[in-house]
Amino acid sequence: MKSLHELPACVVSRKIKEQEITAEEYISTIIERIRQVDHKINSFISNNFESALSKSRTIDKKIKEGLNTGLLAGIPVGIKDNISVQGLKNTCASRMLSEYIPPYNATVVSKIEAQDGIVIGKLNMDEFGMGTTSEYSAFGPVRNPWNLGYVAGGSSGGSAASVASLQIPLSLGSDTGGSIRCPSSFCSVIGIKPTYGSVSRNGLISYSNSLEQIGPIARTIYDLVTLLNVISGVDPKDNTTLPKNYEYKTDHVDHILKKKYKIGVLNDLIDDSETEVAENTRKKVKQLKDRGCEMEDTRIPLSNYALASYYVIATAEASSNLSRFDNLRYGYQGSPEGYEWNSYFSESRSKFGDEVKLRILLGSYVLSAGYFGKYYAKAQKLRSMIKREFDILFNKYDILLLPTMPVLPFRLGEKTLQPIENYNLDVYTILANLAGIPAISIPGGLSKEGFPIGVQLIANAFGEQKLIDVAVLLENIEGFETWIPKI
């Protein structure tokens, strides 16, 4: 019989509502699991245990009194530490914000609490979301639950590792260039980057406004869809959000098969991946073909230029966004005295980590008067061209399929001194961010040495339901929710 912490959120929520177990009993189990496991993984920066227990008792009381409860009744949710939770530190894994406590909730957090979800703590990440490994954190690296000497992926490494290690069933991450999908692939969980404008970014400490989205991570597609439904929707506090119907569902397999999805396989990108990544991705192609999906090879002609476009735009926006952290408007607590202005400003900005400093410098360079047209303007033009290529492909295909990451997880410290090699790892995930379209990473199998491999599906704007349908098919075939690391 499974322990409580091993059960999917949808099963636990039903048991709580039917009073088979109490929310307090479940939250107590989760807290004990975190205390037993997380010192090995380092996925949490701070916890919210006392408040979580108090809220669980309130939910139990509501159920006993016969009052209605929400979709997430009694379910703990971990929040990436760049998403504001009132009363909890929001550090962005940086010394710059090590003592910052936001006075308000991000919209997504308010929506979770409105559905009786419980914020259990804040999760580790690459500083300000800048990284692919979750090693660039002022609080130490996140370790991969499948092998503690390896990276968990980034920047939402804590969000993926905490779910993969059965500490919590659900978490929120943010995705600027693959920051949800990369760690989901490396940790063997499901993570989705929703369509730009479908989920409010109000309360997210932004790295690159035009690229990033908040999204959920879970072990099963059914749990993921529940949290996605909760956080999606228009928000008057974020004028990039759009009023649409966001009622996603996990349909029955037989109904999905009748839709006869046509899937474009990005075979050139599969071939460019490590051998085991390519082999597992082709296995997914065959599985979907055997289930009646029409599979056809295709390509994105401008994909080779996407990485350059992405890093010009992302670093430019980072340079602009992070200029506010000068210890006058925002920044760490404590004011150096006796400095003249340049020394004071330099001392304040020194609180950023090396990777953040590098991206700020790159962004400042491409925005400078002599280079704006040469780099930033060209990157934006290329972005528009890539979006048009996707529009053409989605007139022919329902979904595009490719690996999430071109490589398997690698050792901690292996690439920290190789920024260009690190940036190249984002080559498959940045495509969806540049185009503002939804993409999901689904567990694709394990390598011979037991490392997770993810497969990525991309759909046209607001095509999340198609991604969910195909994820249901693959989960039904593989049962990947049973793949659990031994920590």
Mean pLDDT (the chain) is: 95
Task: Tell me, yes or no, if 43 is annotated catalytic.
Answer: no
Residue 203 lies in a domain: yes
Rounded Cα gap, residues 159 and 182, in angstroms:
11
* pLDDT tens digits, one per residue of 128-181: 999 999 999 999 999 999 999 999 999 999 999 999 999 999 999 999 999 999
84 part of the active site: no
**Residue 303: inside a domain, yes or no?**
no
Q: Above 70 in pLDDT, residue 336?
A: no
Which pLDDT score, from 0 to 100, does residue 72 have?
98
Contact 142, 152 (CB under 8 A): yes
Runs of H (alpha helix) within 45-190:
49-64, 107-114, 157-164, 181-187
Residue 339 has pLDDT above 70, yes or no: no
Q: Which amino acid is at 345?
A: F
Q: Tell me whether residue 314 is in a domain.
A: no
Q: What is the pLDDT of residue 343?
A: 79
Instruction: Tell me the CATH number at 199.
Output: 3.90.1300.10
Percent of the chain with pLDDT over 70: 98
User: Is it the case that residue 347 has pLDDT exceeding 90?
Assistant: no
DSSP-derived pairing of the beta strands 213-218 and 452-459:
unpaired
Q: Is the pLDDT of residue 338 over 70?
A: no
Q: Any idea which residue has 């490589």 for tokens? A: 407
Q: Read off the pLDDT of each residue in 73-100 and give the average, rounded to a whole number.
A: 96
Does 210 map to a domain?
Answer: yes
- 404-439 pLDDT, tens digit per residue, is 999 999 999 998 888 888 999 999 999 999 999 999
Residue tagged active-site, from 43, 155, 184, 198: 155
Mean pLDDT of 104-114: 98
- Residue 268 φ then ψ, to 5°: -65, -35
What is the β-pairing status of strands 170-175 and 294-298?
unpaired
pLDDT band of residue 121 (cuts 50, 70, 90) is: very high
> How much of the chain, in percent, has pLDDT values that exceed 90?
89
Give me the amino acid identity at 400.
L
Distance between first and last Cα of the chain? 19
Burial class (CB in 10 A: 0-12, 13-18, 19+), 17: middle
Sheet holding 118-123, edge to edge: 44-47, 118-123, 76-80, 170-175, 213-218, 190-193, 439-446, 452-459, 399-403, 262-266, 294-298
Q: What is the pLDDT of residues 393-410, one digit of tens each?
A: 999 999 999 999 999 999
Is 364 annotated as catalytic?
A: no
- Identify whether 197 is part of a domain: yes
Any domain includes 419: no
Residue 458 lies in a domain: yes
Q: What is the pLDDT of residue 334?
A: 63
Q: Looking at 15, 55, 56, 80, which residue is catalytic? A: 80
Query: Is 5 a residue whose pLDDT tops 80?
Result: yes
By the 8 A CB rule, do 314 and 207 touch?
Answer: yes
**Catalytic choice (179, 184, 232, 309):** 179
Domain range enclosing 164: 4-258+431-482
In a domain? residue 290: no
Kindly list the distances between the CA atom of residue 456 and the CA atoms of 305, 309, 442, in Å, as whole numbers in the listed order.
Answer: 20, 21, 6
Placement of tokens 């550090």 in the chain: 91
What is the C-alpha to C-alpha distance for residues 437 and 34, in angstroms, rounded to an integer?
34
Number of domains present in the structure of the chain: 1
Nearest-CA neighbor of 415 among 148, 95, 160, 131? Answer: 131
DSSP 76-92: EEEEETTB--TTS---T
Neighbour tally for 444: CB within 10 Å: 24
